[in-house]
């Protein structure tokens, strides 16, 4: 996709959009560990302003837990899908959790810990509904991590799925992903009857791109790589610059930052 085609495919001001954002690698630069990311006040203010201007139709779609996202973005709670759609907080504050069924979670955690024991640089993250193994500090162990987790997923007989990401492999219950989370939001106010926009950088975001494309919305890939997205931005800085420009041009943003009522 050329730069000109990318620019033409990006959303412009004046439409009734519903905005969905991945966090790590999209709104924030990646860090060695999940706890290593930093959120500046300007980004928080930008997302809050967009939330107000879009009538509340802004949600964060992350592999992180909802509680972790709340800690990154302080203030009034935003709609969030956490753990790749395994948990979701709607615009009214209702919490929807899809607990894994027929899975012995303590045993699975113990098996993952045992498989990664004695491997310096690996980080096992138990999010409650998914299990992630980060190997950014030990990239040569990627094959070991994949083989061990793949065997555990195979033993589960279809109830689990192995989800790859950037320097992370995650074991999660099958049937939920970022795409299902976006579809659930789009069936509810204030997202309903809008066109979805989803911005993400990783393979986990491809599920969301597929759903958004099917709805006639705008899918935006951040960075290089093959993708189903129909537009592209170079990196985190480009995402922020585009959002700032969108808000500056948007007729929905007035002096109070609220979306004008359509008559």
| Catalytic residue ranges | 22
Selection from 25, 176, 186, 161 nearest residue 97 by Cα: 176
By the 8 A CB rule, do 163 and 84 touch?
Answer: yes
DSSP 34: G
What's the distance, CA 193 to chain centroid?
22
How far, in Å, CA of 198 to CA of 186, rounded? Answer: 12
On the CB side of 159, CA atoms within 13 Å amount to 13
Query: How far apart are the C-alpha atoms of 257 and 13, rounded to whole Å?
Result: 14
Query: 12: number of CA atoms within 13 Å, CB side?
Result: 4
Task: At 152, give phi and psi (nearest 5°).
Answer: -65, -40
**Number of neighbouring beta carbons within 10 Å of residue 211:** 21
* SS3 call for 17: strand
Q: How far is CA 57 from CA 79, 139, 168, 195, in A?
A: 8, 38, 30, 10
Contact 90, 96 (CB under 8 A): yes
3-state helix, strand, coil in the chain (%, to 5): 35, 20, 45
């Amino acid at each position: 996709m050329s730069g000109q085609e990318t620019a033409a495919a990006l959303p412009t001001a004046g439409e009734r959009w519903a905005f969905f954002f991945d966090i790590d690698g999209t709104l924030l630069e990646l860090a060695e560990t999940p706890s290593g990311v930093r959120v500046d006040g300007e980004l928080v203010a930008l997302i809050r302003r967009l939330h107000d201007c879009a009538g509340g139709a802004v949600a964060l779609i992350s592999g992180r837990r909802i509680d972790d996202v709340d800690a990154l973005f302080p203030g009034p709670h935003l709609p969030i899908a956490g753990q790749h759609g395994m948990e979701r907080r709607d615009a009214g504050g209702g919490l929807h959790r899809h607990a894994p069924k027929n899975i012995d979670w303590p045993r699975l955690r113990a098996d993952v810990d045992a498989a990664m024991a004695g491997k310096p640089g690996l980080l096992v993250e138990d999010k409650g509904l998914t299990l992630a193994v980060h190997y950014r500090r030990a990239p040569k162990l990627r094959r070991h991590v994949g083989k061990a987790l793949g065997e555990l997923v195979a033993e589960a007989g279809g109830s689990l799925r192995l989800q790859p990401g950037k320097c992370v492999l995650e074991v999660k219950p099958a049937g939920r992903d970022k795409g299902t989370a976006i579809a659930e939001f789009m069936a509810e106010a204030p997202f309903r009857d809008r066109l979805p926009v989803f911005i993400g950088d990783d393979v986990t975001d491809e599920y969301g791109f597929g759903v958004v494309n099917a709805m006639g919305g705008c899918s935006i890939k951040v960075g290089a790589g093959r993708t189903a997205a129909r537009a592209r931005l170079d990196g985190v800085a480009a995402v922020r610059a585009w959002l700032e420009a969108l808000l500056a041009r948007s007729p929905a943003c007035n002096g109070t930052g609220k979306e004008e009522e359509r008559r």
